[in-house]
Amino acid sequence: MHILHVVGARPNFMKAAPVLRALAAKPGVRQTLVHTGQHYDRIMSDVFFQELEMPQPDCNLEVGSGSHAQQTAAVLRAFEPVIIERKPDLVLVYGDVNSTIAAALVCAKLGFPVGHVEAGLRSRDRTMPEEINRLLTDQLSDLLFTPSPDADENLLHEGVDRSRIHLVGNVMIDTLVRLLPRSEQHLRANLAAPYILVTLHRPSNVDDLPWLRELLAALAELSQHLTVVFPVHPRTRERLSNLTTDAGSHPRLQLLDPQPYLDFLALQRGAALVITDSGGIQEETTFLGVSCLTVRENTERPVTITMGTNQLVGRDLQKLRKAAAEILREKLESGTNQGATESGRRESSSGMETQQQKCHIPLWDGHAGERIAEIILRCEPL
Ligand code: UD1
């Protein structure tokens, strides 16, 4: 059986890695890895291939950056001849980025079966480009691999046949479970706990410059109490370059380059609080039991809210300040989750069991990739 995987942007790599590994262990499976080149920098792409021990892509479409239409169209044009030449039995696409919908559309038009990993998530916010990508990719896919029961329900409501839906769990957590012990060697020197970790890259936050300025001012304010570590996504970096702020005059607001996977995992694990607009980070903090404030009005990952680790603060900075103050007061009083202290380092060899005991989400157990591999082989021929 010949399976072709398509990856393009940073969050795809963490999702594809466990599926590639699980399928590599199966006899009679041949795999091809196509990188669309949506993300292309060393820090946004290459370093993830190294750390996640992924095979080098068999081909890179080198589509690069552009508007949504340009980027999606570039993948459509470049991917079609690849599929026609390689004739896979199944194409696997991941998550909700522009490369995902483009690859699924090419396959559906040519009659190649598609499997969507991380199917069924819905924010119900169609102003998010990712929501459009999710809806359409799911409609075009033959196999829908879902991370949680809410995703199954969403798909059933949209009329997807139950036989196509497979609840397998969270592949991103597979990667986290595998690499969490290794992240211990990546604790950041000179970063004293407790600290706050921040990531922001959604257009709704960073493309609106007056709002971005306000957000940055709120982070600067928090940094008067606690170190704030902010790895800055390239999109955000570009927007910040158009903004006059006094962020540079706050020594405890540390703006860093985007971090490699293991460094970022170590940062998350040690954070007293994470402030983000990322989908994957809402899930990772839930698994790690780290408090998270999400600067969005909605989430396609409701399980992170019901588990109690994540809160939506939307565009309400008062809510952000209040929630942050409450979480930090609790953390500091109880002395928990204060990060990469020496005692934290000593305890960390047993950390894995502790994390898994804390996270009670069924099937977020490090084996989702293996379940996907089993199902694919069971469903053959598609
Ligand atoms: C994309 C995904 C988003 C995901 C995010 C993770 C879509 C619609 N969005 O958003 O869901 O959460 O990736 O990062 O697919 N750039 C670089 N180096 C790179 C790649 C991009 O400098 O390797 C810069 C370019 O200036 C580019 C900008 O980042 O214009 C944005 O990249 P793009 O791929 O358009 O979207 P992201 O914001 O990264």
CB 276 within 8 A of CB 294: yes
Largest CA-CA distance found in the chain, in angstroms, rounded? 62
The finding on whether 203 has its CB within 6 A of some atom of ligand 1 is no
Whether 14 contacts 261, CB under 8 Å: yes
- Ligand 1 centroid – CA 97 distance (Å): 9
Residue 201 annotated as catalytic: yes
Residue pLDDT, tens place only, 10-66? 999 999 999 999 999 999 999 999 999 999 999 999 999 999 999 999 999 999 999
Name which residue sits closest to atom 19 of ligand 1, judged by CA.
Answer: 39
pLDDT of residue 335: 72
Pocket test residue of 13, 42, 61, 65 for ligand 1, highest count of atoms within 8 A of CB: 65
Scanning the chain, the segments in alpha helix (DSSP H) are 10-24, 47-51, 68-86, 98-110, 129-140, 149-157, 171-183, 203-206, 209-222, 234-241, 261-270, 279-288, 303-306, 317-334, 342-347, 351-358, 368-379
Asked if residue 225 has its Cβ within 6 Å of ligand 1, the reply is no
Residues 244-299 pLDDT 10s:
877 778 999 999 999 999 999 999 999 999 999 999 999 999 999 999 999 999 99
Contact 85, 258 (CB under 8 A): no
Identify the pLDDT of residue 344.
38
Burial class (CB in 10 A: 0-12, 13-18, 19+), 229: buried
C-beta atoms surrounding 125 within 10 Å: 14
The pick from 45, 97, 283 for probing ligand 1's pocket by mutation, whose C-beta has the most ligand atoms within 8 angstroms, reads: 97
38 lines ligand 1 (CB under 6 A): yes
Model pLDDT, residue 242? 87
What is the number of the ligand 1 atom nearest to the C-alpha of 38?
34
- How many whole angstroms separate alpha carbon 160 and alpha carbon 234? 37
pLDDT of 243 reads: 87
The residue nearest atom 38 of ligand 1, judged by CA position, is 235
What pLDDT does residue 337 have? 53
Q: Which residue, by CA, sits nearest to atom 15 of ligand 1? A: 97
- Residue 235 Cα to ligand 1 midpoint, Å, equals 7
How high is the pLDDT of residue 339?
45
Q: Cβ(130) to ligand 1 under 6 A? A: yes
CA distances from 352 to 32, 184, 284 (A): 32, 11, 14
| Ligand 1 mutation target, pool 13, 15, 36, 38, most atoms within 8 A of CB | 38
Which of 5, 39, 166, 201 is flagged as catalytic? 201
**β-bridge pairing 143-146 and 165-167:** parallel
pLDDT tens for each residue of the chain, 382 residues long:
999 999 999 999 999 999 999 999 999 999 999 999 999 999 999 999 999 999 999 999 999 999 999 999 999 999 999 999 999 999 999 999 999 999 999 999 999 999 999 999 999 999 999 999 999 999 999 999 999 999 999 999 999 999 999 999 999 999 999 999 999 999 998 898 899 999 999 999 999 999 999 999 999 999 999 999 999 999 999 999 988 877 778 999 999 999 999 999 999 999 999 999 999 999 999 999 999 999 999 999 999 999 999 999 999 999 999 999 999 999 888 876 544 333 333 344 344 444 544 568 999 999 999 999 999 999 877 7
